[in-house]
Amino acid sequence: MVLLTTSKETPLKSPIRPRLLIGAAVLPLAIGAAVLQLGSASATETTKEKPQPTSAQSLVIGSKDTPQPQDMESFLTAVTKDVDTYWTKVFKDSDLPEPRATYSWIPAGQTAASACGDGTSDLGDSAAAYCPGDDTIYISEKFATDIFDGALNSSLPGSSQGYGKTYGDFAVAYIVAHEYGHQVQNELGLDQRYGGSVPTMAFELQADCYAGNWAKSASDQGRLENGDEQEALDAALAVGDFNTQQPGHHGTPEQREDAWKTGFDSGDPSSCDQYMQAG
Ligand SMILES: [Zn+2]
C-alpha cells in the first residue's frame, strides 16, 4: 500500500478537469451545522428532510476490536486506507504495481489548490473529486458531513427529485470509494485509452461499480451492518442527475444505483469493464 497525503506545494494550474462526484459543478449547499457522531444514529436534527435512521449503521474499519474513527477527517482517511487495502490486493493478484493514492481533505470554509482548480474555488466546501492532473482525491469535510447527516438531500440532483437520499457513514464511504475508483481508472490507464472515445458517464458509472466491488469485500468480511448497503444505494440514487444531453452527464439515479449494485453483486472488478465498452 502506498498512501500519501498531499504535499503542501501548490501544483501548477492546468485545464485538466476534475472528475466530480456529481455532474453539476456548482452545488447549492443546504444550510445546517451538524454535530458529527460517526457510528451513531443520533446525529443532530438540522433539517426536516433528514431521514430517520433505521438501525445500527456502522462500517467497521479494520476489526471490531480496533478503535473506530470519531471525526470526519479521520473517517475519510480510514475509509480511504480501507479501500486502498482492497485495491492493493486486487492489483497484486493481477500482477499490477500497487496503486498509489493521494488524498486531501478540505477543511470547512477552505479551498484546495489542485491541478484541476480553475480559480473559481470549485474544490471548496462542495468538493468531492478526483483530479487526474495531480492524481489526488479531494473531499470537503463539510460536504462529507452534510452527506452524513442528510443536509444535502434537497440540493442533490437525484434526491431533490425524490430519488434516494444521503444519510449515514456508508453514504460517505460510497463517495470515498467512488473517488478511489477514478484513481483506479488512472492507474489502469483508462483515461488515456478511453478518455476521448467514451462519455464522462462511462467513467462515472465504472467508478460507482468499483465502489460496489470494495463494499462487497467489506461485506464479505462481516464489516457492514444492517442498513449500510441501502445507504450506498440511496446515495448513488441521490447523486444521479438528469442532464442526459450534457457532456458532463454522470448517469441517471437508476444508472448509478445499478452500477454500484453491479459491482457489489459481482464482487468482481471485471464486471465494471462493461461501462467503457458501452461507450
Ligand atoms: Zn466521479
CA distance 43 to 35: 6
Torsion of CA 125, 130, 58, 29, to 10 degrees: 20
Instruction: Kindly report, residue by residue over 4-21, the tens digit of the pLDDT.
Output: 665 444 444 445 678 888
How far, in Å, is the centroid of ligand 1 from the Cα of 67?
A: 30
Average pLDDT on 31-55 reads 36
Please state, as a whole number, how many other Cβ atoms lie within 10 Å of the Cβ of residue 221: 13
Residues with C-beta atoms within 5 A of ion ligand 1: 19, 204, 207
Q: Higher pLDDT residue, 177 or 35?
A: 177
Q: What is the pLDDT of residue 118?
A: 60
How far, in Å, is the centroid of ligand 1 from the Cα of 65?
A: 33
How far, in Å, is the centroid of ligand 1 from the Cα of 21?
A: 4
Is pLDDT of 25 > 50? no
Instruction: Kindly report, residue by residue over 254-268, the tens digit of the pLDDT.
Output: 999 999 999 999 999
Phi, psi of 13 (to 5 degrees): -75, 145
How far, in Å, is the centroid of ligand 1 from the Cα of 18?
A: 9
Q: Which amino acid is at 267?
A: G
How far, in Å, is the centroid of ligand 1 from the Cα of 127?
A: 11
How far, in Å, is the centroid of ligand 1 from the Cα of 66?
A: 31
Average pLDDT on 35-56 reads 37
Instruction: Kindly report, residue by residue over 145-204, the tens digit of the pLDDT.
Output: 999 999 999 999 999 999 999 999 999 999 999 999 999 999 999 999 998 899 999 999
Sign of CA dihedral 44, 46, 52, 56: negative
Q: What is the pLDDT of residue 52?
A: 38
Instruction: Kindly report, residue by residue over 97-146, the tens digit of the pLDDT.
Output: 999 889 999 999 998 888 886 655 468 898 999 998 889 999 999 999 99
How far, in Å, is the centroid of ligand 1 from the Cα of 23?
A: 8
Nearest to 274 by CA among 180, 186, 179, 206: 206
SS3 4: strand
How far, in Å, is the centroid of ligand 1 from the Cα of 221?
A: 26
Q: What is the pLDDT of residue 63?
A: 82
Q: What is the mean pLDDT of the chain?
A: 83
Q: What is the pLDDT of residue 120?
A: 57
Q: Higher pLDDT residue, 37 or 9?
A: 9
Q: Where are the domains of the chain?
A: 67-278
pLDDT-based confidence at residue 40 (cuts at 50, 70, 90) = very low
CA distance 142 to 48: 19
**Among 26-35, 59-68, 210-219, whose mean pLDDT is lowest?**
26-35
How far, in Å, is the centroid of ligand 1 from the Cα of 64?
A: 30
Average pLDDT on 47-59 reads 44
For residue 53, the cross-strand partners are none
CA distance 138 to 136: 6
How far, in Å, is the centroid of ligand 1 from the Cα of 109?
A: 22
How far, in Å, is the centroid of ligand 1 from the Cα of 224?
A: 23
The answer for 168, left when phi > 0, alpha when psi is -120 to 50, beta otherwise, is left
Q: What is the pLDDT of residue 34?
A: 35
3-state secondary structure 14-51: CCCCCEECCCCCCCCCCCCCCCCCCCCCCCCCCCCCCC
How far, in Å, is the centroid of ligand 1 from the Cα of 129?
A: 7
Q: What is the pLDDT of residue 53?
A: 38
How far, in Å, is the centroid of ligand 1 from the Cα of 20?
A: 5
How far, in Å, is the centroid of ligand 1 from the Cα of 13?
A: 20
- CA 29 to chain CA centroid, Å, is 17
Q: What is the pTM of this model?
A: 0.84
How far, in Å, is the centroid of ligand 1 from the Cα of 47?
A: 27
Nearest to 152 by CA among 241, 235, 55, 54: 235
Please give the C-alpha separations between residue 223 and each of 11, 70, 153, 231, in angstroms, as whole numbers: 37, 17, 26, 14
How far, in Å, is the centroid of ligand 1 from the Cα of 176?
A: 10
Q: What is the pLDDT of residue 22?
A: 83
Q: What is the pLDDT of residue 17?
A: 74
Q: What is the pLDDT of residue 27?
A: 46
Q: What is the pLDDT of residue 122?
A: 67
Q: What is the pLDDT of residue 133?
A: 87
On the 0-12 / 13-18 / 19+ scale of CB atoms within 10 A, 28 is exposed
Phi, psi of 56 (to 5 degrees): -55, 130
Q: What is the pLDDT of residue 5?
A: 63
Q: What is the pLDDT of residue 8?
A: 43
Nearest to 84 by CA among 72, 69, 102: 102
